[in-house]
Chain A
């Protein structure tokens, strides 16, 4: 592709679609200014950053920040906890909105459908702090969850002090909060499925289940795959907010993740370089996973992110 023809084509396109270009310029500027330009700051991962010296004048330390992190006694546990929580979230939290969307799609009564949708969306809008407060209260020995357990003949216990239960509580509450919101995109994909396909299948004698497997799922497969690839791209990115609100030293062994551990270091010493190094480490892993998943998806299906 020779350069001249590219600029020529751009100019012609611009003349034809000025409005579209004008519309997209702020988005481009936003990404360049707030996402690409700050990448320069990632170099403080290799420096000993002091705010007074600034990014440029801070001393280079090479990989010291990374070795400090890798040599931490809890390094293995932190990685394990971060990944297992992410994988659980993916394993259970990914199919949940899809299943909900499929179910809602079958509902005939419009009123009930809207009601169900609203009820499932609402938790998404509740602030995380409130949700965590509710979970903490309900998990007390005298709380709601224990009331239910006792009702079914179980033994009351302080749920959030049990490291074995932590992952279940964490993932279930995430599912509860996000299932409605996450189902939106699948519902819209489902709406686009040609109803003639269903009619043709019915004529051929296919039951509900066969219709699901052969028509519905393949139709929304591209959506599912894209969403999945995107999710694997944030596998290492477990944020510390929810963890900090739900954990306590009794559950550190399953609850303490990379970001919450570093948060506590930050309480002792504000080390910007250290946390940047860890963030960079996370991003590299995420990106590698993203590339891998995308490649796999390209090979085995026609859908891929790029």
Chain B
């Protein structure tokens, strides 16, 4: 009896212990944000007078912790940014050791909130402080999460100070309404970098049908009808409708001098495009096209892989997309089975032949993404600031965009040219991954992006044409884009509630109009409903934010 008791007791305890093995940090993938170790190392003169001689690499000192999202083009080959040749070179050149911490892919926002709640912040955090911190960047400073950088810039950051002096419009963008600098920003250094999305169609079909690249809405109608009737295409124009960015950049909305949401009117005030007359014209045209079968019937559910399939297998003839991740990929994939396959970029359509479109999609140079702030947990602020500032100087700029001379680029007549290591990687890596191992130029980060990267990233002629066809090349859209304004933290909740209702209503009604289930005769009722949902209050909040921005 006793033996049996002992055995069953032992088993019970074993099961107990085994179940405890399951407890433990479940999230082994995410590393806990480590605070800088309290190892007292000397050599940290915190009050360096600005006039003191300073050069990189810095003398050895404490390791800094750097939290950032790991880009997919890096993560396919490296599990930590610190393993990349880029990061190693960065640390070597600046003389500062970094510990990189990454959230699980796709969970940056969630982990961000957890880190904040924890209180032990990494020294440097790369994040969209402008858009993704609830309440805005000024609140992040007031909450004691990050430090304002005005004094820091003056004392330790000559490079970025020079850049901001040379670019006063950028300077305004990266401040808060109260005039505080809060990040080392990601800036697109050239206008042409700000428009990488546009319309494209099958060039081989246009040639076959003897048609020119369409420039007006009427020409588009002719081309799409020809695709349908003469080539028997089921869905001439297809669209990645589930992608919010594409909806905001929809060139057919712009053609009618309209906008999907907020824009800066000619009167200097904020307007909401989706309740204005131009939007009605867009809906009328687009619904007519849908009725005629010129638009993919499944448009509302299409995701990127479905659109890619349709564009490469000939089910569709026209779509919208980026030059790199869509045009380049589609051409590359389709050309193998169809050697005549070719895409051509089409400009922003206007309603009048010969007249350039007023509205168009141009991104603002500072979007807030991947910008680095110094947190209040950082003990060696000077070191962190000097590290980040390096990227804005001549040497750092070249390094972030082109890498190491002789390895990832060579100077050819003063033009930094990528080597075969990047463009034709011996290990078979695609260009985007090879680039991401050595530079940050092909994705976002705390530096100024150089146009010359894009000129070489686009390897195909069709792609190289795109900066000349899209964005500011074919429209005046730049003057209508809203600058990076932010509502105050009190207003932002109200704004989010109102806008969620209005956005839901707008998206729902837009599709109803396009499908024809709702007649455009009720457009006025639609506009009235948007008004009732609080549009004027939302516009008021936006206009106040705009005033504060202009006063910066």
Interface residues of A (CB under 8 A from B): 18-20, 22-23, 25-26, 50-54, 68, 72-74, 136-137, 139-142, 157-158, 160-161, 248-250, 252-253, 256, 261, 264-265, 268-272
A269-B109 in contact given A248-B241, A248-B300, A264-B500 (Cβ < 8 Å)? no
Contact of A139 among B301, B315, B507, B512 (CB under 8 A): B301
A25-B303 in contact given A73-B533, A141-B298, A253-B508 (Cβ < 8 Å)? no
User: A260 to nearest B CB, angstroms?
Assistant: 10
Contact at B497–A249, with CB atoms within 8 Å?
no
The stretch of B8-16, B44-52, B469-477 in contact with A is B8-16
Q: Tell me whether B134 is interfacial, beta carbon within 8 Å.
A: yes
Contact at B508–A261, with CB atoms within 8 Å?
no
Contact at B242–A248, with CB atoms within 8 Å?
yes
**Chain A residue at minimum C-beta to C-beta distance from B19:** A26
Query: Given the complex, which residues of A lie within 8 Å of B325, measured CB to CB?
Result: none
7 contacts between A and B (CB under 8 A): A19-B12, A23-B12, A26-B19, A53-B143, A248-B242, A264-B503, A269-B496
**Chain B residue at minimum C-beta to C-beta distance from A270:** B134
A72-B501 in contact given A26-B20, A268-B496, A269-B134 (Cβ < 8 Å)? yes
Contact at B16–A25, with CB atoms within 8 Å?
yes
B residues 110-153 near A (Cβ < 8 Å) are 113-114, 116-117, 132, 134-135, 143-145
Q: Tell me whether B493 is interfacial, beta carbon within 8 Å.
A: yes
Contact at A50–B16, with CB atoms within 8 Å?
no
Contact at B241–A22, with CB atoms within 8 Å?
no
Contact of A158 among B9, B301, B505 (CB under 8 A): B301
Contact of A72 among B116, B132, B144, B497 (CB under 8 A): B497
Contact at A265–B497, with CB atoms within 8 Å?
yes
Query: What separation, in Å, do the CA atoms of A258 and B492 have in the docked complex?
Result: 21
Query: Given the complex, which residues of B lie within 8 Å of A264, measured CB to CB?
Result: 500, 503-504
A158-B501 in contact given A22-B13, A53-B143 (Cβ < 8 Å)? no
Contact of B143 among A52, A139, A141, A265 (CB under 8 A): A52
Query: What separation, in Å, do the CA atoms of A19 and B499 have in the docked complex?
Result: 59
Residue count of chain B within 8 Å CB distance of chain A:
49
Query: What separation, in Å, do the CA atoms of A136 and B504 have in the docked complex?
Result: 21
A249-B508 in contact given A26-B19, A51-B113, A160-B301 (Cβ < 8 Å)? yes
B residues 164-197 near A (Cβ < 8 Å) are none
B residues 2-43 near A (Cβ < 8 Å) are 5, 8-9, 11-13, 15-16, 19-20
Query: Given the complex, which residues of B lie within 8 Å of A142, measured CB to CB?
Result: 234, 298, 315
Q: Tell me whether B510 is interfacial, beta carbon within 8 Å.
A: yes
Interface residues of B (CB under 8 A from A): 5, 8-9, 11-13, 15-16, 19-20, 109, 113-114, 116-117, 132, 134-135, 143-145, 234, 241-242, 297-301, 303, 306, 315, 492-493, 496-497, 499-501, 503-505, 507-508, 510-512, 515, 533
Contact at B493–A269, with CB atoms within 8 Å?
yes
Contact at B499–A268, with CB atoms within 8 Å?
yes
Contact at A161–B298, with CB atoms within 8 Å?
yes
Query: Given the complex, which residues of B lie within 8 Å of A272, measured CB to CB?
Result: 113
Query: Given the complex, which residues of B lie within 8 Å of A140, measured CB to CB?
Result: 298, 301, 306
Contact of B511 among A51, A52, A250 (CB under 8 A): A250
User: B315 to nearest A CB, angstroms?
Assistant: 8
Query: What separation, in Å, do the CA atoms of A256 and B212 have in the docked complex?
Result: 43
Query: Given the complex, which residues of A lie within 8 Å of B20, measured CB to CB?
Result: 26
Query: What separation, in Å, do the CA atoms of A160 and B299 have in the docked complex?
Result: 10
Query: What separation, in Å, do the CA atoms of A145 and B508 have in the docked complex?
Result: 25
Query: What separation, in Å, do the CA atoms of A158 and B235 have in the docked complex?
Result: 13
**Chain A residue at minimum C-beta to C-beta distance from B134:** A270
Contact at B301–A23, with CB atoms within 8 Å?
no
User: B500 to nearest A CB, angstroms?
Assistant: 5
Contact at A265–B496, with CB atoms within 8 Å?
yes
Query: What separation, in Å, do the CA atoms of A137 and B302 have in the docked complex?
Result: 9
Query: Given the complex, which residues of A lie within 8 Å of B301, measured CB to CB?
Result: 136, 139-140, 158, 160-161, 248
Contact of A52 among B132, B145, B497, B499 (CB under 8 A): B145
A271-B504 in contact given A20-B12, A26-B20, A73-B533 (Cβ < 8 Å)? no
Most buried by B among A53, A253, A270: A270
User: B171 to nearest A CB, angstroms?
Assistant: 27
Query: Given the complex, which residues of A lie within 8 Å of B511, measured CB to CB?
Result: 161, 248-250
User: B491 to nearest A CB, angstroms?
Assistant: 11
Contact at A22–B500, with CB atoms within 8 Å?
no
Contact at A250–B508, with CB atoms within 8 Å?
yes
User: A221 to nearest B CB, angstroms?
Assistant: 34
Query: Given the complex, which residues of A lie within 8 Å of B8, measured CB to CB?
Result: 19
Query: Given the complex, which residues of A lie within 8 Å of B499, measured CB to CB?
Result: 268
Query: What separation, in Å, do the CA atoms of A18 and B515 have in the docked complex?
Result: 69
Nearest 6 Cβ contacts at the A-B interface: A249-B507, A269-B496, A51-B116, A19-B12, A51-B117, A250-B511
Query: Given the complex, which residues of A lie within 8 Å of B500, measured CB to CB?
Result: 261, 264-265, 268
User: A225 to nearest B CB, angstroms?
Assistant: 31
**Chain B residue at minimum C-beta to C-beta distance from A251:** B300
**Chain A residue at minimum C-beta to C-beta distance from B247:** A249
Query: Given the complex, which residues of B lie within 8 Å of A268, measured CB to CB?
Result: 496, 499-500
Contact at A249–B496, with CB atoms within 8 Å?
no
User: B311 to nearest A CB, angstroms?
Assistant: 15
**Chain A residue at minimum C-beta to C-beta distance from B10:** A19
User: A262 to nearest B CB, angstroms?
Assistant: 9
Contact at B297–A249, with CB atoms within 8 Å?
no
Query: What separation, in Å, do the CA atoms of A305 and B242 have in the docked complex?
Result: 44
Contact of A256 among B145, B492, B504 (CB under 8 A): B504
Contact at A18–B16, with CB atoms within 8 Å?
no
Query: Given the complex, which residues of A lie within 8 Å of B19, measured CB to CB?
Result: 26
Contact at B507–A252, with CB atoms within 8 Å?
yes
Query: What separation, in Å, do the CA atoms of A125 and B377 have in the docked complex?
Result: 44
Contact of A23 among B16, B299, B504 (CB under 8 A): B16
Excluding A19-B5, A74-B501, A140-B301, 19 further A-B contacts by CB distance (< 8 Å) are A19-B9, A22-B9, A22-B12, A23-B15, A23-B16, A26-B16, A50-B143, A136-B301, A158-B297, A158-B298, A248-B241, A248-B511, A249-B300, A249-B504, A252-B508, A264-B500, A264-B503, A270-B113, A271-B496
Query: What separation, in Å, do the CA atoms of A265 and B141 have in the docked complex?
Result: 24
Query: Given the complex, which residues of A lie within 8 Å of B113, measured CB to CB?
Result: 51, 270, 272
Contact at A271–B9, with CB atoms within 8 Å?
no
Query: Given the complex, which residues of B lie within 8 Å of A269, measured CB to CB?
Result: 134, 492-493, 496
Query: What separation, in Å, do the CA atoms of A268 and B116 have in the docked complex?
Result: 19
Query: What separation, in Å, do the CA atoms of A19 and B16 have in the docked complex?
Result: 10
Query: What separation, in Å, do the CA atoms of A271 and B117 have in the docked complex?
Result: 14
User: B237 to nearest A CB, angstroms?
Assistant: 15
User: A193 to nearest B CB, angstroms?
Assistant: 32
Contact at B297–A73, with CB atoms within 8 Å?
no
User: A64 to nearest B CB, angstroms?
Assistant: 10
Query: What separation, in Å, do the CA atoms of A160 and B512 have in the docked complex?
Result: 14
Query: What separation, in Å, do the CA atoms of A306 and B144 have in the docked complex?
Result: 50
Query: What separation, in Å, do the CA atoms of A160 and B507 have in the docked complex?
Result: 16
Query: What separation, in Å, do the CA atoms of A43 and B258 have in the docked complex?
Result: 45
User: A38 to nearest B CB, angstroms?
Assistant: 13
Contact at B303–A136, with CB atoms within 8 Å?
yes
Contact of A74 among B492, B493, B504 (CB under 8 A): B504
